[in-house]
Chains A and B, each alone.
Chain A
Amino acid sequence: MAGGLLNKLIATAALAAVLAGCSDAGFSDTEKRTIASMSLSALAPLPPDPTNRFADDPGAAALGATLFFDTGMSRDGNVACGTCHKIDRQFQDDLPRGKGVGETNRRTMPLAGVARDPFFFWDGRRDSLWSQALTPLENPLEHAGTRTAYAHYIKRRFGERYERIFRPLPDLSTVPASAGPFGTPAEQAAWAGMTDVQRDGVDRLYSDIGKAIAAFERSLVHGKTRFDRFADALAQGRQPSAGDDLTSEERQGLRLFIGKANCSTCHTGPRFTDNHFHNTGVPPAAGLPEDRGRVAVLAEVQADPFNCLGKFRDGGEEACGELRFMQKSSPELVRAYKTPSLRGVAERPPYMHAGQFASLEQVVGHYATAPKAVEGETEIHPVALSDREKAALVAFLKTLSE
């Protein structure tokens, strides 16, 4: 009789353990909703860009693709957009800092889905895809060219195509061969010496270069990953096919990602980003000039002649909400950098805005310990994660690749 009771107790305990195991493998309804919201299937169609009336013009996109890979679009003839944004490497270069004519201070960003960003670069110093594309062309560490040199180059190489897509070329007959607001002192003086009409014509052509490249970049999209196929199966209540199921470690990582580890607070939605800027206490890279992130470029983006409120925008001012209502002063913008998308992240170390971390393990370690920021206040708080939990997070991040 006593033995029977004992057996029953043991059986009950065993059943309880099995049930506990079951509930751990499944996701709650709230978790399922969050997971579904992160699937690529939840991504809305790419909205139009009324500030660039060539955004969806196939001719402009084709010219943009040509320019993107054309090393003629640089001072020394060796640098194209595609030099750092490598087509077979998620449009990034695997280096801590991008290398054009010189070495830059920032990690090259991948470009899938880039047309969805409200602000560009790690610090958001440009407010449209087309104004972004113009900036490296004149940066002395990247393409290092000048505005009039690009105008002459477009006329010489692509004049007929340009006129067919955009407008008649400006009169460049008396425009200096190399002049611009960011060149050598002589080039800057030559730019200042041009007439307003000449500068305006060159600027208009220059903005069209950006609009062509932007039209091309709108075609760069995220590919479906194992996570997406798993998330879609979960949302539809069916068993994922064998190759798409997440292992128990990856599931644990996913649960931590959207739960205790707080990753999805910022890495949210189908692109795994809130498109905003945060100080997360990432240490500066040694040997680089001072870098204060978002706070340092607030004046620059507002003064950019190619921004949404400038005269090179197509369409009405109602498209300029992001710029008009951007946060213009706030202590939390000190050393704040853009939340990057995490799609494909495991395939592209090193990480952070200057390639500070060599591995995902280091990144997860940073966010778990949440060290103080060198300047400003970090927004993140320490999270007690075991070594197994950290490994699970890394395992989950690897499911975000195709």
Chain B
Amino acid sequence: MTSAWRMVVGAFGLVALAIGFLAVVYLTAPAKPGPDLERSKNSAKGLYSLTIAPEAGEPKQGELHAWVVTVKTRQGAPVEGAAISIGGGMPEHAHGLPTSPDVTAYLGDGRYRIEGMKFSMTGWWQLKFGISAPAGADEATFNLVL
């Protein structure tokens, strides 16, 4: 074997080794962590515990639909007469919600119906609920991926 051939074979070997190394790195890299998709959580200051649920099945892109938000104190007592503001949007697209959802009914047991929700695009959405009740004002942010 001439030294020229040896160099060619060696070069191929090095390239193959590099490709193998990159493949291992690429294939074992941890997936990008997504936003937390919990539908029950405590508000930012810990005054309330919130649970959200779509009223009639998982929402579909582009359809107006309603959610039920359940607000309880940390001790688990339902919160009645809360003023709830709703905001949010798509953090990756720097825009808010495409509609102005609003509380339209108190359903009892700390449950509030929110109508007028719409997700006009697929992707990562945030819903922010501002809660104002005798225990104080607090807020909670939920993530949804459509």
Contact = CB atoms under 8 A, between A and B. Distances in A.
Nearest to B6: A2
| Interface residues on chain A, size class | 20 to 34
B99 A6 contact: no
A379 B121 CA distance: 13
A2 B101 contact: no
A269 B96 contact: no
B120 A276 contact: yes
Interface of A: 1-2, 5-6, 9, 265-266, 268-269, 274-276, 278, 321-322, 324-328, 330, 332, 377, 379
Contact of B1 (A2, A269, A275, A324): A2
A379 B102 CA distance: 25
Q: Is the interface of A mostly helix, strand, loop or mixed?
A: loop
Interface residues of B, number: 27
Q: Is the interface of B mostly helix, strand, loop or mixed?
A: loop
Given A265-B123, A274-B121, A322 B64 contact: yes
A101 B42 CA distance: 61
Nearest to A321: B64
Given A2-B1, A9-B12, A321-B116, A268 B61 contact: yes
Contact of A327 (B1, B97, B122): B97
B80 interface: no
A377 B94 CA distance: 10
Given A275-B62, A327-B97, 13 more contacts: A2-B6, A5-B9, A6-B12, A9-B9, A268-B122, A274-B121, A321-B64, A322-B64, A324-B115, A326-B99, A326-B100, A327-B100, A330-B96
Given A325-B99, A325-B115, A327-B100, A266 B9 contact: no
Contacts of B56: none
Contacts of B102: 325
Given A6-B5, A379-B94, A325 B123 contact: no
B98 interface: yes
